[in-house]
Amino acid sequence: MEERLQKYLAQAGVLSRRKAEEAILAGKVAVNGVIMTTLGTKVSSADEVTYCGKKVQPTSQYQYYMLHKPEGYVTTVHDQFGRPCVLDLVPQEVRLYPVGRLDYETSGLLLLTNDGDLTYELTHPAHQVEKTYIALVRGTPTESELQRFRQGILLDDRLTAPAKIRILNKEGNNARLEIKIHEGRNRQVRRMCQAISHPVLQLSRCAIGTLRLGDLPKGSCRLLQPEEIAELKRVASVK
């Protein structure tokens, strides 16, 4: 059975589909010794596919982990500055990749998997998978400031998609907010809060779609249950 080269790479757990497309266009992928730079190329199990000169071994052994990321970890496979990486906290029986990112100072729910298709669908903005954050911010937003959040805020000369926001409680002169977004721009929640003059003091992601972090201790991980995987795929529209 033939399939597109980028999907083949994603299913092998080498790269997410989006990163696989970038690698193909950059000339890093070869099929039977020939560099391929077009995304329409189709391959089968009979073909020899290499990425950066290393042979790609297809796998059907998908694994799905939920991690409670602590602050002080980077959401990358390796870090050039030697900082701790989230993969240091996960058993690596197979090669895993983070689904999206949480910045260095942010804690909370992070998914890791070798299922490239699911990674692609969960992070693709067209599917609008909702992520829920709890943010402690300086001061207390007014109703008009909350409305700015809900209507979209200008970041990088482009409005953010409307977000959901509500005040959970006040803590002295500060406020704890629940924020729901379905985009994945760089440090988006922090930048949106800064834009309404209520900078983030503490930030954690507690849910992706219907999947919730629950009482998983910080720094710990667990395998997802079959029903959780099925629900993620339903939300992401993965067949």
Close Cβ partners of 101 (under 8 Å, ≥ 6 residues apart): 75, 184
How many Cβ atoms from other residues are within 10 Å of residue 36's Cβ? 18
- The helix (H) or strand (E) run that includes residue 17 is helix 17-25
How big is the CA angle at 73 (ends 65 and 228), to the nearest 5 degrees?
20
Show which residues are catalytic: 103
Whole-number Å distance between alpha carbons of 125 and 19: 15
Q: How many helices (H) and strands (E) does the chain have?
A: 6, 17
